[in-house]
Amino acid sequence: MRLIMLGAPGAGKGTQAKKIAEKYSIPHISTGDIFRANIKNGTELGKKAKTYMDQGLLVPDELVCDLVVDRVGQPDCEKGYVLDGFPRTIPQAESLDAALKAVGSKIDYAIDVDVPDENIISRMSGRRACLKCGATYHLKYAAPKKEGVCDTCGEALVLREDDKPETVQKRLNVYHEQTQPLIDYYTKAEILVTVDGTKDMEEVFQAITEILDK
Ligand code: AP5
Ligand code: MG
Ligand code: ZN
């Protein structure tokens, strides 16, 4: 099962992708998590990505495409994967399609987690992230067992640099301009499915599994 998660920043792509990955035993590939891990480890890629991410801008396509194409070619992706945060532009989608076509593969579903802008800003201010293992929490909707500490790995939780309200607004604008056109792109490809992302996390997940298990 090869899946793409679409949706605005904070729509719950990562939350749902993790649950999908667990249920169907496929890798969860988040380009945002990959960049954040690189920033934390001080790599060249991390240094380049950080200047864009902190401003709420997209990292240039050429820094993203090869990385993902390479990743989905790894042996653990043979049975499928869930892509979270990629593609995010039409050129990224085209480059993924071309790379998959070349090896006789294709995406099965692009799942759009639909949440209006009004809900996003409040959601983001409550998010806390673990930069070590990629786990995500929410002060109100998904609190960690111990305040400020990751349940999975024990690392201190942080507010992401790009989750400040002014940067969130910028990311929403970037989403509408550059990523939303993918909704049309995957509608035309007849693989788009939409779920209501304003429901609680379990209800959203149930809606997704109903589609995948059909
Ligand atoms: P990325 O990390 O992908 O961020 P994003 O797309 O902005 O999305 P988020 O991770 O912020 O939100 P999410 O949809 O995963 O929501 P979550 O599940 O955490 O990218 C960051 C940056 O990296 C980009 O801005 C860009 O610079 C760069 N980048 C990454 N990929 C790129 C690419 N392909 N090309 C170019 N640049 C790229 O949920 C949000 C919060 O809400 C959490 O606290 C969660 O607990 C809570 N929540 C989730 N679901 C619900 C629910 N149903 N009800 C209540 N609360 C909920
Ligand atoms: Mg995410
Ligand atoms: Zn952790």
Q: How many domains does the chain have?
A: 1
Whether pLDDT at 166 is above 90? no
pLDDT of residue 161: 86
Pocket test for ligand 1, best of 66, 67, 138, 166 (most atoms within 8 A of CB): 138
Counting ligands in written order, the one closest to the CA of 12 is: 1
Query: What is the number of the ligand 1 atom nearest to the C-alpha of 84?
Result: 3
Q: What would the pLDDT profile of 125-165 be if each residue is shown by its tens digit?
A: 899 999 999 899 999 999 999 999 999 999 999 998 899 88
Instruction: Convert the pLDDT of each residue in 44-81 to its tens digit.
Output: 999 999 999 999 999 999 999 999 999 999 999 999 99
Of 110, 84, 70, the residue nearest 30 (C-alpha): 84
**Residue 65 confidence (pLDDT):** 94
pLDDT for the residue 183: 98
Q: Which domain holds residue 39?
A: 2-212
Q: What is the pLDDT of residues 80-93, one digit of tens each?
A: 999 999 999 999 99
Q: Which residue of the set 13, 18, 19, 123 is catalytic?
A: 13
* pTM for the full predicted model: 0.95
Q: Flag whether pLDDT at 19 surpasses 90.
A: yes
Residue 122, pLDDT score: 82
As a whole number of angstroms, the distance between CA 60 and CA 1 comes to 28
Confidence (pLDDT) at 27: 98
> Is the distance from the beta carbon of residue 175 to the nearest atom of ligand 1 less than 6 Å?
no
pLDDT computed for residue 53 by the predictor: 95
CATH of the domain at 178: 3.40.50.300
Q: Record the tokens describing residue 214, joined without a space.
A: 């059909």
